[in-house]
Chains A and B, each alone.
Chain A
Amino acid sequence: MSSRPAEQVERVPTAAPSRLPRSLHPGAWWLWALALAVAAGRTTNPLLLGMIIAVAALVVAARRSSAPWAVGFRWYLLMGALVVALRVVFRMLTAGDGPTVLFTLPRFELPSFAAGISLLGPVSAEAILAGFYDGLRLATLIVCVGAANSLANPKRLLAAVPSALYEVGTVLVISVSVFPQLVESVQRVRRARSLRCSPSRGRHALRGIIIPVLADALDRSLLLAAAMDSRGYGRRTDIDQRARRVTSALLLAGLIGIGVGAYGLMDAHSPAYLGGPLMFAGIAVGAAGFAWSGRRVRRSRYRPDHWRAVDGLVAACGAVGSATFFVADVVELYPSANPLAWPTLPLLPVIGLLIAAAPAVLAPPPGGRP
């Protein structure tokens, strides 16, 4: 007989409490992914873009959960590939110039109302390369959004929005769940229609499907509205007219600031004051608007997501990675496609991207509770 059962010995904790599996605040992942997207927006260097995709894929593979919304990453990759292919094909169609002609396609002149545009013709390596660079940048942006979507439950993000946006969040959640219902109802009715052996095409058939589906959707929405009403939805203290106007004005100004600021940040050629400063001013004004309107909403939240040090660290990794793209040499970020030149790998952004990949190990494993 041993004095201590073996299982008691093994119960010594092996990790610090903060390393317990938990889902990060969805905002942390979104900030990280958006920082990567900003970085991608500032370069056409295929080596750097490829590296950004690799970083996103690595972190997704390491830290996504097994939830249904988390398994869609490969669809974003596929969509990215499609975008690249389309971009290249369009470049071939519109026959960009360049000295290195690879092959020649029969040329089409469009009729006079679209004068000046010709389709096909000689296809140059420069045109294809420029199309590829452009497409790859767009694909990388898509992959970054996909990474955010796979790492953080989009609905949890909606739940984390300020109370002022709660109603909008509810509407979005409902419409997201209504869509599969609508598809289901169309399939069901189509199948039912086939039982009546009526024509499956044409106006008559469309009516046979649309009317039952709409009737169904209407019934459902009335039921849902009644259910929400009887569960207390919309119990809020009345907001007076002036406060509502102030809120709307603040939110609108904030949104414009963020929009213009984002454009300034993404476009390397625009003046510096249009970028960061305007963006931050927009965010500040918008936040004030949210706080102002949120004060008046009486509602509590079940299990809110907590923002801890690790969450900040993950967002910071993304921000540092993205920042290196603002100090790197513009020539290296935008390699020349005409004349043809090999892209080079600038050191600083590479280090930045390595830092951005750190959440693959820094972030706690997924699962468990927020």
Chain B
Amino acid sequence: MIDLTDVTFSYGTSPVLANVNLHIPEGELVLVAGPTGSGKSTLLGLLNGLVPHFSGGTLRGRVTVGGLSTAEHPPREFAAGVGVVGQDPLAGFVTDTVEEELAYGMEQLAVPAAVMRKRVEETLDLLGIAELRDRGLRTLSGGQQQRVAIGSVLAAGPRVLVLDEPTSALDPTSAEDVIAAVVRLVHDLGITVLMAEHRMERVAQYADRLVIVRGDGTVESGDPVTLMATSPIVPPVVELGRLADWSPLALSIRDARRLAGPLRDRLAGSAPVRRPVSTAQPLVRACGLTVRYGSVIAVREVDLLLRPAETTVVMGRNGSGKSSLLWALTGALKRSGGTVDVRGEDPAGLTGGSSRRLLTLVPQTAADLLYLNTVAAECAAADAESQAIPGTCRTLAGRIAGPLAGEANPRDLSEGQRLGLVLAIQLTGAPAVILLDEPTRGLDYRAKARLAAVLSELSDEGKALLIATHDVEFAAQLADRVLVMAQGEIVVDGPALEVLAASPSLAPQVAKVLFPEPWLTVDQVARALSDTVRRGRPC
């Protein structure tokens, strides 16, 4: 179905992909994995000719999909054969209601009206979005939008579906809905699906083939279970399998649980090391915090205490009020009721640099904070804004994001480096409380691990951290305490171990595999295992 023969692609001198040979037969679900910036999106873009027709760059070698070569045909001629869905479904919508969006592609292909009617109905059923048919696209939730986006390319009847991180912005349940819809397309209709995904744990078990884009131009393709053994990035369940020497590795929770019996026995009796519960005076004291947008109540009378050296993670569906809560705490979003007290002061009443010493927020679209041409200029501006000693921000940035060239444009940095830079800018004022909104979006496992290390260091320094995230694995790594929000209210507030391990949708993979033993992360298990080994050998 898809053939890449000796493909080399470069934007400048150094190739993004070098001598790639890839052959994908019909009807496979292919997971494309690799570190951020390794060329995953480039590889996916090659399949309908967006690369290089739209992106520019030099392509050598031959890419054919369904017999058509991308060298001779522009992307629009692939519309009937290859469906492409991007990361942000909203950015790709052309019309404004679900039904019209589904029909749009077919209108371009001049599909007769009667056939269009039929295909729209079929697509609505296939993706389970029939009840949304008259809704405006902007009024849908993220998961629904993503399913509509998939439906809108599917209606044109392609045999290949290309999905670039379809679940990166979704909460765990919506992500499962989307993945389930895709798996159904592969199984029922035999459509070939190529999917790039950072959170491999969501897809790995359904994949027929794993394609690893290494980042040095090489691409490996093969059976997921075999390739996972040597892959530089793996989901937690595979890490656990490597730790316990399972062979073959398990990719699904079900398979892992079957293999995990001996591991559970070895771990019985020990428990993960917990950080002592913080009893210090709270840094943040919010009472009856309420945020309304017109008639919608985004946050409803929330009471919240944040203590030093404690990391609190807020979870909940898209639109449950997490972001509004964070913004209201900073005072940048006007609250409609309640009080916020940060070390005796209300951040909403403070002006200039003084609130930066109390608390700071790294927003979801971190790049909004950047507006200068170079890293050095951004850092200098940050120093000036927080009246810090010149050089403070630069030092912090080096510590958090690794070495950054001062003359680099912040927009050219990788997702992880850019987030690191913004975090450094926001930490320049040495705030006691740090709020982060969806910090792991677009980060691969390595960048996430680095961020987790930085954040736990900050926590050890005595900062109070509040992180809103959908990423259960990230939450499991960091959280001391977990809040779950629904409809603007905090419905659960408790120690991370209890909240995460017990919830069916929020439990990390390790917790699901080792249930009922209370473990959340592979690190915890590894530490416990090395302890038991040491205890086993007395001398």
Report A's interface with B, CB cutoff 8 A: 68, 155, 170, 173-174, 177, 180, 188-189, 191-198, 207-209, 211-212, 215-216, 219-220, 223-235, 298-304
Contacting pair A197 B386 (CB below 8 A): yes
List 18 additional contacts besides A188-B365, A197-B356, A300-B107; criterion CB under 8 Å.
A170-B94, A174-B94, A193-B369, A215-B411, A219-B91, A226-B54, A227-B92, A227-B94, A229-B50, A230-B48, A230-B50, A230-B83, A230-B84, A232-B108, A233-B94, A234-B76, A234-B108, A235-B76
The 4 closest A-B pairs by CB, nearest first: A232-B79, A227-B92, A302-B103, A232-B108
Which residues from B are CB-within-8-Å of A216?
Answer: 368
CA separation between A220 and B426, bound complex, in Å? 26
Asked if B420 CB lies within 8 Å of chain A CBs, one says no
Contact of B110 among A198, A298, A304 (CB under 8 A): A298
Contacting pair B94 A224 (CB below 8 A): yes
20 pairs across A/B with beta carbons < 8 Å? A191-B327, A197-B355, A212-B370, A219-B91, A225-B54, A226-B86, A227-B92, A229-B74, A230-B48, A230-B78, A231-B76, A231-B105, A232-B80, A232-B156, A233-B76, A234-B108, A299-B108, A300-B109, A302-B103, A302-B120
Determine how close the nearest CB of chain B comes to the CB of A202; give it in whole angstroms. Answer: 14
CA separation between A193 and B111, bound complex, in Å? 48
Contacting pair A230 B381 (CB below 8 A): no
Report B's interface with A, CB cutoff 8 A: 48, 50, 53-54, 74-80, 82-84, 86, 88, 91-96, 99-100, 103-113, 116-117, 120, 136, 138, 152-153, 156, 327, 330, 332-333, 351-353, 355-356, 360-361, 363, 365, 367-371, 381-382, 385-386, 411, 425-426
Contacting pair A301 B107 (CB below 8 A): yes
Contacting pair A195 B107 (CB below 8 A): no
Which residues from A are CB-within-8-Å of B77?
Answer: 232, 235
Contacting pair A195 B360 (CB below 8 A): yes
CA separation between A229 and B49, bound complex, in Å? 10
Number of A-B contacts (CB under 8 A): 154
CA separation between A188 and B76, bound complex, in Å? 34
Name, among A68, A229, A298, A301, the residue most crowded by chain B CB atoms within 10 Å (CB to CB).
A229
CA separation between A177 and B94, bound complex, in Å? 9
CA separation between A180 and B90, bound complex, in Å? 13
Name, among B82, B136, B370, the residue most crowded by chain A CB atoms within 10 Å (CB to CB).
B370
Which residues from A are CB-within-8-Å of B50?
Answer: 226, 229-230
Interface of B is mostly: helix
Determine how close the nearest CB of chain B comes to the CB of A305; give it in whole angstroms. Answer: 12
Known interface pairs A224-B94, A300-B112; A191-B76 also in contact (CB < 8 Å): no
Contacting pair B79 A230 (CB below 8 A): yes
Contacting pair A197 B352 (CB below 8 A): yes
Contact of A302 among B93, B106, B360 (CB under 8 A): B106
Which residues from B are CB-within-8-Å of A233?
Answer: 76, 94, 108
Contact of A68 among B136, B152, B332, B371 (CB under 8 A): B136
Determine how close the nearest CB of chain A comes to the CB of B334; give it in whole angstroms. Answer: 10
CA separation between A174 and B91, bound complex, in Å? 11
Contacting pair B105 A232 (CB below 8 A): yes
Contacting pair A302 B107 (CB below 8 A): yes
Contacting pair B110 A303 (CB below 8 A): no
Residue in chain A with minimal CB distance to B102: A302
Contacting pair A198 B100 (CB below 8 A): no
Contact of B367 among A215, A225, A301 (CB under 8 A): A215
Known interface pairs A197-B355, A197-B385, A303-B117; A229-B94 also in contact (CB < 8 Å): no
Contacting pair B371 A229 (CB below 8 A): no
Name, among B77, B78, B79, the residue most crowded by chain A CB atoms within 10 Å (CB to CB).
B79
